[in-house]
Structure 1
Amino acid sequence: MVNSSKRSTTSLKLLISEIEATPREYWTELLETLRQFRQTIPLKNSPIINTEQAQKNQAAIDLLDSWLSEDEDASEHQQTWDYLKKAMDEDRLSDRPLFS
């Protein structure tokens, strides 16, 4: 029985020797081919990524980043927060406020 780490090291050495045997001007295409191949194979223990949800998440992240990058006065943010706290505490079923 062959040790898996030894087999892995041997495979890596063979892969590196093949790369080194390839003329350098083709390394960019070789790298792109390797990346495309890797994307087509199922990876063990890799999270399943829903691309549609990932795009929505990225859109939300971009929106939040744009809000953070706006040059607004900190007092304006505080006023907005104070208004939101007051609005959320109005007409509550509980007598306890959400925010103290």
Structure 2
Amino acid sequence: MVNSSGATTTSLKLLLYEIEATPREYWADLLSALRQFRQKIPSATSPVVNAEQAQKNQAAIALLDSWLDDDEDTSEQQMTWDFLKTALDEDRLSNRPLFP
């Protein structure tokens, strides 16, 4: 028999696996769908919320959302990565490149 803590851990691992298996460009849609689903669940009891912690959580959520919504130019990111790879491989003591 699995206790509720073990079942919760297993469910959380499965949920995280599904999130990681989803391409990042769809994470904002996934987050939106999850929030909509949670809002539809009837609440039997009102949760006890620490107002200070809730405010910190909202700040973290806003930061994560801003990262997901960041529409930086992909080609600029690729150029930056190419430059970094070259710079890191220039003065290596080994003949092997750090990033093949």
TM-score for the superposition, normalised by structure 2: 0.45
Q: Return the index of the structure with the highest Cα Rg.
A: 1
Q: Which has the higher contact order (CA 8 A, sep 6+)?
A: 2
Instruction: Please give the TM-score of this superposition, normalised by the length of structure 1.
Output: 0.45
